[in-house]
Amino acid sequence: MYSIVLVDDHAIVREGFKRLIEMEPDLEVIAECRCADDAVEAINQRHPDLVALDLSLPDGSGLPLIEHLHSLAPDTHIVVLSMHDGEPYVSEALRRGASGYVTKGAAPEELVAGLRQVMQGETFLSSDLRQRRAERPSEALDPVNRLTAREREVFLLLAAGKAPKQVAAVLGVGQKTIYIHRASLMGKLGAGSELDLYRMASERGLLAERKN
């Protein structure tokens, strides 16, 4: 029996997913959560095999939560169930540690198949996402993923509205270093201004990643 925690802020959605999942003899929903804090508590207490996670939660984006849950319970698989079907969301969720991504418009049987495939150690995308990647493979190559770890930090801080001087203070480096990283990351992203950086971070749900 595989144990599953559902994380979605809409009770009617959780109930629908729960009924669908528990029609399977080897799947059991052991907890339902409406927010990130509830999810962390459930993972700590129940140690599920899998978390089915929405990205839109009342206490923040589910994207940073993926990394947090992965650090709390490395052996627990995470599958995103979301209305967001844009490639930036999918790429970012997988980069942060999700093993599957199922859109809420997918057929019910895809959800069950996806949960089983992920629990067997594989990666799963619902058919609409697989088809889109096949038709437009370049969309899967998100330029944000080409940034180095330091460039990513600078990118997020600049996108959040911090000036280079403030970024240098946060990261404990000189302003010249920040300008070098800024030039490099803007070249990789094809950005012409901090406004472009804000837009790119916002589209990917990344602005909650750094709050300092």
pTM above 0.85, yes or no: no
Identify the residue with better confidence: 144 or 138: 144
CA dihedral 30, 129, 113, 103 (to 10 degrees): 30
What does the pLDDT look like over 101-130, one tens digit per residue?
999 989 988 999 999 999 999 999 999 999
pLDDT, tens digit, for every residue of 153-189?
999 999 999 999 999 999 999 999 999 999 999 888 8
Mean residue pLDDT across the chain: 89
Q: Look at the block and give the residue holding tokens 């993923």.
A: 145
Looking at residue 68, what is its pLDDT? 92
Residue 200 in this model has a pLDDT that exceeds 90: no
